[in-house]
Structure 1
Amino acid sequence: MPDQELLDAAEMGTLLEPIEVKYQVLRMLRAPRAEAFVANFTDGWLGLYKLGNLTPDPKKYEAYSVYDLEDSFREETQAFFRCLLMENRNVEEFLNAGYSFLDRNLAKHYGIAYADLGDEPRMVQFPEGSFRGGLLGQASILTVTANGVDTSPVVRGVWILENILGTPPSPPPPDVPALEPDIRGATSIRDQLSKHRDIATCNECHRKMDPLGFALENFDAVGAFREFYSDGEGKPSTPVDASGKLPSGEAFGDMRELKEILVDRREQFERCLTEKLLMYALGRELSFSDRPQVNTILDELERRDGGLQDLVEIVLTSDIFLGDP
């Protein structure tokens, strides 16, 4: 709720002035109650509210419950977002940051030395060539895009399209099952999805979703790194193939190379993030008529070579926000 200073500014009418809005935005971001924005926006944009909805299989992922990793997962992503916001770091770091915020248990889960870590998340720099770094290497994201038992390249691919690239796929045709009934002879998830793409009405979307999801297959259903799939007894079996080729023709060998492609498309990510922030700020979906305003915000962000705090400020001083009914 607004504090007294904000109510006074509203009463005087100064909240219609961009310079006053900028002052109030920066003031409120430094206040303790800004934590509500960090929690609520990451819940909505990244789907963190789903953590805990599907408890991972305790037999396969015992550490998840033993070390209460759900809280560690959420705290990592919130601390990462908070750092970009408060330090006004470039939004590109959502894609390729070489660091994150780990506590002792999460560092152990990631296979990282953790002797000097405790119960509270601290900034940790990842070694060169690490698969971690950025949102796509965070266990919170990798867990909410799984079902608690297995990974799904389709679900993870859809998540990237919706939340990183801003190009959600069309809903599946109502008369097509999730996977065709006859998958005899399919020996891997790649085989199953390859057969699924043989259905003409499914091919167009799956050629966009599946490669993105395959890039994350080096992470299991709770975000632990793996080089092999496990058999029914939990023993390593088939090697993970995290390679793929996008409809645009760009190929990658694993998630590290996919992240390089996404960084090259950072303008697309910036548009997606801007739209997510605007929807949060306005409390409504955007329409085609909002596109010029979105373009204006992005132009200003580029002019500043801005960070996340800049983007929040630009959104909240924009004509679309100040003039939206």
Structure 2
Amino acid sequence: MKTLFENRPDAGRSLALGVLVAVGVLALPIGSAAAAQDDPAQALGLKVYQQSCAECHGDDGEGSEIDYPHPLHGDKTLDGLTTYIDEKMPPGFEHEVTGEDAEAVARYVYDAFYSEIARARNAPARIELARLTVDQYRNSVSDLIAGFRGRGQWGDERGLKGEYYTDRGFRRDRKKIERIDPELNFDFGIGVPDGDTENFDKRNQFSARWEGSLMPPESGTYEFVVWTEHAVRLYVNDDRNPLIDGWVQSGDDLERRASIPLLAGRPYRIRLEFSKAYQGVRKDDDEPEIPASIRLSWVPPRRAEEVIPSRHLSPEWAPPVFVVTTPFPPDDRSVGYERGTTISAAWAQASTDAAIETAAYVVDHLDDLAKVKDDDPEREIKLRDFAASFVERAFRRPLDPEQRDLYVDRQFDTSPDAETAIKRVVLLALKSPRFLYHEIDPELDPYAVASRVSYALWDSLPDEPLLKAAAEARLETREQVAEQARRMLDDPRARAKVLDFFRKWLKVDAIPDLAKDPEHYDDFTPEVVSDLRTSLELFLEGVIWDSDSADFRRLLLDEPLLLNGRLAAFYGADLPEDSPFAPVVEGVGERAGLLSHPYLMANFAYTNDSSPIFRGVFLARNVLGTRLRPPQEAFTPLAPDLHPDLTTRERTALQTSPESCMACHSLINPLGFALEHYDAVGRFRAEDNGKPIDASGLYKTRDGETATFEGVRELAEFLAESDEVADAFVERLFQHQIKQPIRAFGVETLPELRDAFVSNDYNIQTLLVEIVAESALTPRQSADLASTGE
């Protein structure tokens, strides 16, 4: 049966709603009107629809260009839709469709094209053939190379291993102190480490070396900063070539900076060498000695400079990590999550350039990666085996004889030398669809399952234990997949991907600037903003990776706010100035997890005032999963000077009072009003413009019930128990992890995952395992049938 979605492919792309606030997209199959004639109740609904609705919404619910250009679909229950039509429709003539007529037309609309089942029937979602996203490409290539070196371990101990010597070199017999230093921020003055004058010479000459590894909190470019009066060298991800080389001191430049790209979820080798030599002592006894100090800082993406915290440092050794630096065009995020469903000329060229970059790196490090010397008599044989292993790991499965001949043997047989052959092998492998498309295998074989598991959790290749499980037929049942998923959740790569989801879910993944009006908030500095981001991420990690519960509801309900000394001073808490991050309840006003976190409140606000609209839209779309259409015209908030006696709430209500605005703002505003106790930087306030804050709000659920709340605590309690919130969270997490629409895995997938989530006490880790187990074992070739329940 042909559908309007097939005839009008643009219809299925709209994410906006019609005048029915929660009613929106996708269409009715041709012929359903005729089918309704066989059922008297449906026939009445069709008649009412044609008389009172079709003029605006189209004969088949597809929308009309002039009145409501958005096809009807939504997620209200049948009762909720009936109540809404009875009270609100049609606009301006609400009394015309009520009672029995409202019930009949609601049932017709619901069954024909509105409900989830109707949409799945009319326009089945499909598991789409998708290339690797940019993150998946970079992670895969990095881990492909790491497979020949091993991966660094990230243990429980924090800090770097420090060794202190009594001369300017690093002779073993001159080493006097060995310890773990949590951070590198020392002021030795004119003396020596720990004041150990007995073991250090009278000229106070000494050197120190710190080494271990560091874990970046997110992928991006990091600027490293070393400050010292003396000789220094910093190595990051490279033991031979220093990132910063200040071993020869020149002039008065005490600060040195350099940048490097890093991928999250991987430990990177780091070594800092420091030497206080004779230059640290004046020859004239009347002149003071030059003091010795050293500080190692970094500037992570979207943050201010800070001394590298101990939580990002480990004394464990880590091998070098290859990071592709070739720029890629961004992935499509139009559906709310990144996906690789399109290939542009720019992306094709970028993948070629990245393959060339990788091939050059492999050849430059061939002895290290292939574990073979130039003078080895079996060098070519070993290089062929290395090349075969490289292709197998890239393709995520063993090679058959024909593939080995094509990708390996022919390249060696026709190349002038082994290095050229290796380059050809790498280029062929990384440009092959078997590497670029990890969903290319329609059959449900164990290696395809392994690939789905690893990309779901790591956005990268399967590791050796997962491939071994595939080879031994231990990925055939849901529990076998779940067992692997639970193991892989402990890997930092899983934590990095999940934290990336929360940044996107909370709309803080790409905040360019949180600067506020300096006339009102001159102390809201970049350092405060950076600390707020850290506070948010520490809170998220503390809940997500809680070994006892990982309860999602804590994200909404937890009262303590994580503050350090600088944030405590800004938000009115009582902590010492140099205090590390600690949970605070007193002095910061009423709080409720993410809903009132200052970083989010500042993000969803104007430069000099709060914004109930920004906050309400976030709650409606991201937390409750409601589909909102964009404003029909550019929206500029009313300036406070135009209405100097009004509060922010009153100005918002005034500006959005027209009927054309209230179609959406009747939902948005009451949610945002519940957060009015928090100003533009997230400080708690009791008054606005000299008037007591009115933080009352309400929300009409999909069932047609009205929930009311006063302030953030009551709002949080409502949201924490809402099935709509659970549905929205499950769907967004699924789509971030799997990079496919959840409906493509069957109409029962979302409710089943939601029910499991609730029955497991909202455990986020358990939900991740369930998502992986559900998606990995879904046959791709029958996904379109699965989505219709056939």
Q: Which has the larger radius of gyration?
A: 2
Q: How many angstroms does 1:140 deviate by?
A: 1.8
Q: Is the 8 A contact 1:84 1:307 kept in 2?
A: no
Instruction: Find 1:112's aligned residue among 566, 573, 579.
Output: 573
Q: Is the 8 A contact 1:126 1:133 kept in 2?
A: no
Q: 1:198 to 1:149 in 2, by over 3 A?
A: closer
Instruction: Find 2:699's aligned residue among 233, 242, 246.
Output: 246
Residues of 2 paired with 1:110 and 1:180: CA distance? 28
Q: Is the 8 A contact 2:753 2:771 kept in 1?
A: yes
Q: Is the 8 A contact 2:648 2:688 kept in 1?
A: no
Query: Could you say what secondary structure the match of 1:284 adopts?
Result: coil
Q: 1:311 to 1:227 in 2, by over 3 A?
A: same
Pairwise mapping of residues 76-115 of structure 1 onto structure 2 (< 5 A)? 76-87=535-546, 88-115=549-576
Q: How many angstroms does 1:284 deviate by?
A: 3.3
Q: How many angstroms does 1:19 deviate by?
A: 2.7
Match of 1:311 in 2: 767
Judging by fraction of residues, say which structure has more strand.
2
Pairwise mapping of residues 154-173 of structure 1 onto structure 2 (< 5 A)? 154-173=613-632
Residues of 2 paired with 1:264 and 1:32: CA distance? 31
Q: 1:288 to 1:13 in 2, by over 3 A?
A: closer
Residues of 1 paired with 2:539 and 2:532: CA distance? 11
Q: 1:185 to 1:147 in 2, by over 3 A?
A: closer
Residues of 2 paired with 1:60 and 1:185: CA distance? 19
Q: How many angstroms does 1:217 deviate by?
A: 1.5
Q: Is the 8 A contact 1:158 1:168 kept in 2?
A: no
Pairwise mapping of residues 183-222 of structure 1 onto structure 2 (< 5 A)? 187-222=646-681
Q: Is the 8 A contact 1:51 1:140 kept in 2?
A: no
Q: TM-score, normalised by structure 1?
A: 0.82
Match of 1:323 in 2: 778
Which structure is richer in relative contact order (CA contacts within 8 A, separation 6 or more)? 1
Residues of 1 paired with 2:744 and 2:706: CA distance? 28
Match of 1:23 in 2: 483
Is structure 2 residue 758 aligned with structure 1 residue 302?
Answer: yes
Q: Is the 8 A contact 1:110 1:224 kept in 2?
A: yes
- The worse-fitting range, judged by mean Cα deviation, of 91-100 and 7-16 is 7-16
Q: How many angstroms does 1:113 deviate by?
A: 2.3
The superposition leaves residues 157-213 of structure 1 with CA deviations (integer Å, 9 ceiling, x where unpaired) of 000111211113222224x755689x9657333333333343212112111111111
Q: 1:196 to 1:116 in 2, by over 3 A?
A: closer
Q: How many angstroms does 1:263 deviate by?
A: 3.1
Q: How many angstroms does 1:304 deviate by?
A: 2.6
Q: Is the 8 A contact 2:588 2:683 kept in 1?
A: no
Instruction: Find 2:727's aligned residue among 260, 271, 286.
Output: 271
- The worse-fitting range, judged by mean Cα deviation, of 183-192 and 194-203 is 183-192
Match of 2:717 in 1: 260
Query: Could you say what secondary structure the match of 1:63 adopts?
Result: coil
Q: 1:191 to 1:52 in 2, by over 3 A?
A: same
Match of 2:682 in 1: 223
Is structure 2 residue 585 aligned with structure 1 residue 126?
Answer: yes
Residues of 1 paired with 2:475 and 2:745: CA distance? 25
Residues of 1 paired with 2:612 and 2:570: CA distance? 22
The superposition leaves residues 28-49 of structure 1 with CA deviations (integer Å, 9 ceiling, x where unpaired) of 3222333412431122111122
Match of 1:138 in 2: 597
Q: Is the 8 A contact 1:38 1:78 kept in 2?
A: no
Is structure 2 residue 611 aligned with structure 1 residue 152?
Answer: yes
Residues of 2 paired with 1:144 and 1:71: CA distance? 13
Residues matched between the structures, number: 312
Q: Is the 8 A contact 2:571 2:588 kept in 1?
A: no
**Which residues of structure 2 form unaligned runs of 5+?**
1-459, 781-790
Q: 1:285 to 1:59 in 2, by over 3 A?
A: farther
Match of 1:234 in 2: none
Residues of 2 paired with 1:190 and 1:227: CA distance? 13
Q: 1:285 to 1:220 in 2, by over 3 A?
A: farther
- The worse-fitting range, judged by mean Cα deviation, of 281-290 and 144-153 is 281-290
Q: Is the 8 A contact 2:601 2:680 kept in 1?
A: yes
Letter in 2 for 1:106: L
**Which residues of structure 1 form unaligned runs of 5+?**
231-236
Letter in 2 for 1:294: L
Letter in 2 for 1:60: H
Q: How many angstroms does 1:53 deviate by?
A: 2.9
Residues of 2 paired with 1:264 and 1:46: CA distance? 19
Q: 1:306 to 1:207 in 2, by over 3 A?
A: closer
Letter in 2 for 1:94: L
Query: Could you say what secondary structure the match of 2:523 adopts?
Result: helix
Query: Could you say what secondary structure the match of 2:562 adopts?
Result: strand
Q: 1:316 to 1:98 in 2, by over 3 A?
A: same
Q: 1:288 to 1:27 in 2, by over 3 A?
A: closer
Query: Could you say what secondary structure the match of 2:670 adopts?
Result: helix
Q: Is the 8 A contact 1:38 1:81 kept in 2?
A: no
Q: Is the 8 A contact 1:153 1:210 kept in 2?
A: yes
Q: 1:244 to 1:97 in 2, by over 3 A?
A: same
Pairwise mapping of residues 56-71 of structure 1 onto structure 2 (< 5 A)? 56-65=516-525, 68-71=527-530
Query: Could you say what secondary structure the match of 1:62 adopts?
Result: coil
Q: How many angstroms does 1:76 deviate by?
A: 1.9
Q: How many angstroms does 1:312 deviate by?
A: 1.2
Match of 1:233 in 2: none
Judging by fraction of residues, say which structure has more helix.
1
Residues of 2 paired with 1:314 and 1:60: CA distance? 48
Q: 1:83 to 1:99 in 2, by over 3 A?
A: same
Q: 1:299 to 1:256 in 2, by over 3 A?
A: closer
Q: Is the 8 A contact 1:38 1:82 kept in 2?
A: no
Match of 2:70 in 1: none
Q: 1:6 to 1:73 in 2, by over 3 A?
A: farther
Letter in 2 for 1:136: L
Among all aligned residue pairs of Structure 1 and Structure 2, give the percentage whose two residues are the same amino acid.
27
Letter in 2 for 1:251: T
Query: Could you say what secondary structure the match of 1:154 adopts?
Result: helix
Letter in 2 for 1:5: P
Residues of 1 paired with 2:540 and 2:659: CA distance? 40
Q: Is the 8 A contact 1:51 1:70 kept in 2?
A: no
CA-based RMSD of the aligned residues comes to: 3.1
Is structure 2 residue 496 aligned with structure 1 residue 36?
Answer: yes
